[in-house]
Structure 1
Amino acid sequence: MAVRSFDKLFVDGQWLDSTGSGRIEVISPHTEQAIASVPDGTAGDMDRAVAAARQAFDQGAWPRLAPEERIATVERFADAFRRRLPEVAEVVSAENGCPITLSTHLQAAGPLAIVESFLTVAKEFPWESQRPGATHASVTVRREPVGVVAAIVPWNVPLILTLSKLVPALLAGCTVVLKPAPETPLDAFVMVEALVEAGLPAGMVNVVPGGREVGEHLVRHRDVDKVAFTGSTAAGRIIAGICGEQLKRCSLELGGKSAAIVLDDADLAVVAEGLKATSLLNSGQGCVNQSRVLASRANYDNVVEAVVGTMRSMPVGDPADPATEIGPMTTRRQQERVEGYIALGEKEGAELVLGGTGRPDGLNRGWYVRPTVFRNADNNMRISREEIFGPVITVIPFDDVDDAVRIANDSEYGLAGSVWTSDSDAGNAVARRVRTGMVGINGFMPDYAAPFGGYKASGIGREFGPEGLSAYTEIKAIYPPPTA
């Protein structure tokens, strides 16, 4: 299936020309050739989109509908999106280089599962409740929509991150202006076609691709009530500052440098297989990927061997090939960044046991890097502390369990983690000591019904589950008339 270009933006329920003449070319990470294009949104386009969202929220029916009516529309969207799953998988794979087999499950079926999970949550959500009061017989507590939402998403799992914001916002009664990443804008327009088919009212969702300047214009816009952002911690700090200055709500899902703690009783065959999804998912381009593997000194060589074996077993190549497990980096900039960290690791004194700089064998084009493993690293090295976002694993030794927990927690981030052991009680005990928002035992697979997010510099707020829906609501208390 050939990917499609789009000539217009989606604003106020219509396909409209941009106020500018620029185009964003979408470049294949595999061929390094342009495969499609979309309009390059301007500040004027963002102003139109925000105005449409503001009008729809302030004057439209959607925020005042009963939750059941909003749920019915989102259910129709789920049906329309389901029919587009093969196209979504191919479009995202073409845009960002995600291997097609993984894209089918992660980039297409994953977003649909998010929609379905939020629908389940919304049907049981306490939109309005009564509680006993301290100075009144009872108090009404309402959950009302936060308002106009600016949703800004990156390129690694674009529709997962889009729908984790868009769906709870719509179910809560909000309106949305979406800025997809300029590297991966096509999937957002495929999604819009499903929204149109579902009968979403005009102005509820508006899509304007663009770069950083247009994104900042959206964040600073005074008619935006909340910013929902996923991306780098550096960008998140800037957004948080703007929102703090304006006392604007924000939720931030940011970076990670998570640790997989391998206890001595762990089954290393389970560890080796599990690292594919725990540390190397999406070719290493995932905020929850656990690029630090911690192993005891007594078991260190065995764990390194298991990690290297995992890397060697994963075919690298064309993302359109169903056998491929590691594809290219999404951008040339990311390829250069990852290779820079690999060179830095060697300079810092870590021992390179697999990979290194340069293209993988047999690949003379595309933004590929060699899957890389470092040993004899310590947690003070930059390769152990900074988010690399590629297929690079650093294996760090620990003395005992207390030391492993100390190393895992010695990070500015606190997003994810895992504990590998044959003793589930011991695994749970260690998991409770790790200062991260999510921890898996003998694996790591986020659950769309559970809160997703992190501690410290990994962000503010949570997505998914009731917590993710609550993030798009304001809480109002209504007091009854005083009694005589």
Structure 2
Amino acid sequence: MSLTVERLSGIERTRFFIDGKWVQPRGGVLREQTEAATGDVIGVAALGSESDIDAAVRAARRAFDDGPWGRSSAGDRAGALRRFADALEARAGDTSTLVTRENGMPIQFSQQVNGGLPAVMMRIYADVIEGVTLESAQASMVGSTIVRREPLGVVAAIVPWNFPQALAAFKIAPALAAGNTVVLKPSPETSLDAYVFAEAALEAGIPDGIINVVVGDRDAGAALVAHPLVDKIAFTGSTAAGRQIGAEAGRLIRPVTLELGGKSPGIFLEDGDLGTLLEGLDGASFLNNSQTCTTQSRLLVARSRYDEVLDALADYAKTHFTIGDPLDPSVTLGPMASAAQLERVLGYIEGAKNSRARLIAGGGRPHGLQKGYFVEPTVFADVDNNDRLAREEVFGPVIAVMPFDDEDEAVRVANDTDYGLAAVVWSVDEERALRLARRIRSGTVGLNYYLLDIGAPYGGYKQSGLGRELGGPIGLDGYLQYKSIYASAAQLEN
């Protein structure tokens, strides 16, 4: 919608960060940002047009082609990343609070992933780039070959609203460490917080054009993906959007990393410990109000334990959570990020109510919380794996539970999905759980808990994505390309 800034109060992000400067938008569209817990407007942000995206990409291109960043030493880039980390860390408190207001993430968790994790990522990749060998010589049939790893060029980093700071850092840190330049396109749903990266970059002395930030909608994203001067696309978001981006990247013969959706299974074996399951649900199924792509939203339970587990899950959903203002440290479940996301989640719940599934907890909006975008933690039993609730990503606090008779059936149902991002196996016999984990077609699997390890590669099978992020040097590889220089044998002596 088109708005005038004068009629709005609160935070104003009406300029973009391009080529080291704050610039006026070339388009004229502004967007109101609401607070997830209240629905009230807390700010306004400009949305970038195709010409704004073009200006940002061209600035990044000039900085890469003509600037010193890509040709600087690993040590120089590491030093800049550490200064960048310090500047981000100094803003961590305000950043985490702002993201919580935008998307409803409970504040204590936001302090970790939006406040703290971006600085951690910058320091990790500062260490990584100092520790890797980017050029080496090896003998060839007639002389020697110098094998180099060089930056790709301009990286388009497109990030969603659920973990806006962390997911941006997952891309910015390795991209800059490798010597690339970046155009960051944040989601409109969290339109206010992304400019923290720009402010920190200025304070850290990151050269002009190395980081550019333009908030935009799908049209802006499409313009960025298709821009002829972009060399690499790094995207986190829905599978539907990822499919379109992947198709365009294929047409352009352009490297792409896609971290997409999930419909993650949990397998609770007959020897599973119920207390362990309940302790682990916060991280496995309800992290960030279940607005997490790894959410364990299908729970497969051994038939001999089925009724017991259902009773425990129903009680857990009804009594475990403190629902309310996510800025309150005592709150453990906040709202959905937007009115649109609230309607999406409620739509899935209503659809499941009209299926053969049995509602055993939740199923609507919490009593007394009519303002904001709140949903009760909801559990459906007897869900068929062909039901919509079992096939599609809800992105809200809704769990589908179904029984199984043996391990083979559990693995078959777990793998009977278009996705493959995460899974959890619950068993007191970890060797047995490990055997099952090896059979599950998923990029990550937890044994009796689920917690992302930023030191290990992260990504999905099937329609959950392409490529891997994190994992130190593994995450760096996606932002480098190889070059072989055929040289004389004398190079081996140097």
| TM-score, structure 1 normalization | 0.96
Could you tell me which amino acid in structure 1 is paired with residue 417 of structure 2?
A: S
Q: Give me the whole-angstrom Cα distance separating, in 1, the residues matched to 2:417 and 2:125.
A: 32
- Check conservation: 2:379, 2:398, Cα contact below 8 A: yes
Alpha-carbon distance change, 131 to 352 in structure 1, aligned in 2, over 3 angstroms: farther
Q: Give me the whole-angstrom Cα distance separating, in 2, the residues matched to 1:33 and 1:422.
A: 47
Cα offsets for 1:231-260 (capped at 9, x unmatched) = 000100101111111111111000000111
Match in the other structure for 2:60: 53
Cα offsets for 1:273-315 (capped at 9, x unmatched) = 1011111100010001111111100011122233223323011
Could you tell me which amino acid in structure 1 is paired with residue 84 of structure 2?
A: F
How far has the Cα of 1:5 moved from its partner? 2.2
Could you tell me which amino acid in structure 2 is paired with residue 286 of structure 1?
A: T
* Equivalent runs, 1:298-309 vs 2, <5 Å: 298-309=304-315
Cα offsets for 1:43-74 (capped at 9, x unmatched) = 11111101100100111100001111111100
| 2:209 is the alignment partner of 1:212 | no
Match in the other structure for 1:324: 331
- Check conservation: 1:259, 1:293, Cα contact below 8 A: yes
Match in the other structure for 2:256: 250
Could you tell me which amino acid in structure 2 is paired with residue 304 of structure 1?
A: L
Could you tell me which amino acid in structure 1 is paired with residue 426 of structure 2?
A: W
Q: Higher mean Cα deviation, 448-457 or 420-429?
A: 420-429
Which of 25, 28, 32 pairs up with 2:32?
25
Match in the other structure for 1:140: 146
| 2:243 is the alignment partner of 1:227 | no
Matched residue SS, 1:149 = strand
Match in the other structure for 2:345: 338
Q: Give me the whole-angstrom Cα distance separating, in 2, the residues matched to 1:3 and 1:291.
A: 37
Q: Give me the whole-angstrom Cα distance separating, in 2, the residues matched to 1:98 and 1:480.
A: 55
Which of 174, 178, 198 pairs up with 1:172?
178
- Check conservation: 2:143, 2:486, Cα contact below 8 A: no
* Equivalent runs, 1:280-291 vs 2, <5 Å: 280-291=286-297
Match in the other structure for 1:429: 435
- Check conservation: 2:79, 2:126, Cα contact below 8 A: no
- Check conservation: 2:25, 2:46, Cα contact below 8 A: yes
How far has the Cα of 1:482 moved from its partner? 7.0
| TM-score, structure 2 normalization | 0.94
Q: For the aligned residues, what is the CA RMSD?
A: 1.5
Could you tell me which amino acid in structure 1 is paired with residue 88 of structure 2?
A: F
Match in the other structure for 1:374: 380
Matched residue SS, 1:287 = coil
Match in the other structure for 1:124: 131
- Check conservation: 1:136, 1:479, Cα contact below 8 A: no
Match in the other structure for 1:467: 474
Cα offsets for 1:322-372 (capped at 9, x unmatched) = 111111111111111111111111222100000113x21111211111210
Identity of aligned residues (%): 47
Q: Give me the whole-angstrom Cα distance separating, in 1, the residues matched to 2:419 and 2:231.
A: 27
Alpha-carbon distance change, 264 to 115 in structure 1, aligned in 2, over 3 angstroms: farther
Structure 1 unaligned runs (5+)? none
Match in the other structure for 1:311: 317
Q: Give me the whole-angstrom Cα distance separating, in 1, the residues matched to 2:171 and 2:111.
A: 21
How far has the Cα of 1:102 moved from its partner? 1.7
- Check conservation: 1:272, 1:309, Cα contact below 8 A: no
Could you tell me which amino acid in structure 2 is paired with residue 434 of structure 1?
A: I
Match in the other structure for 2:208: 202
Cα offsets for 1:139-162 (capped at 9, x unmatched) = 322110011011111100001110
Match in the other structure for 2:3: none
Matched residue SS, 1:58 = helix
Which of 73, 85, 90 pairs up with 1:83?
90
Match in the other structure for 1:163: 169
How far has the Cα of 1:127 moved from its partner? 1.5
Q: Higher mean Cα deviation, 392-401 or 110-119?
A: 110-119
Structure 2 unaligned runs (5+)? 1-8
Q: Give me the whole-angstrom Cα distance separating, in 1, the residues matched to 2:386 and 2:354.
A: 14
How far has the Cα of 1:128 moved from its partner? 1.8
- Check conservation: 2:186, 2:216, Cα contact below 8 A: yes
Which of 217, 224, 244 pairs up with 1:238?
244
Match in the other structure for 1:354: 361
Q: Give me the whole-angstrom Cα distance separating, in 2, the residues matched to 1:122 and 1:264.
A: 46
Could you tell me which amino acid in structure 1 is paired with residue 174 of structure 2?
A: P
Which of 262, 272, 275 pairs up with 1:266?
272
| 2:416 is the alignment partner of 1:395 | no
How far has the Cα of 1:119 moved from its partner? 2.6
Equivalences, count? 480
Q: Higher mean Cα deviation, 119-128 or 233-242?
A: 119-128
Q: Give me the whole-angstrom Cα distance separating, in 1, the residues matched to 2:269 and 2:131.
A: 40
Could you tell me which amino acid in structure 2 is paired with residue 123 of structure 1?
A: E
- Check conservation: 1:77, 1:195, Cα contact below 8 A: yes
Alpha-carbon distance change, 101 to 482 in structure 1, aligned in 2, over 3 angstroms: closer
- Check conservation: 1:118, 1:464, Cα contact below 8 A: no
Could you tell me which amino acid in structure 1 is paired with residue 133 of structure 2?
A: P
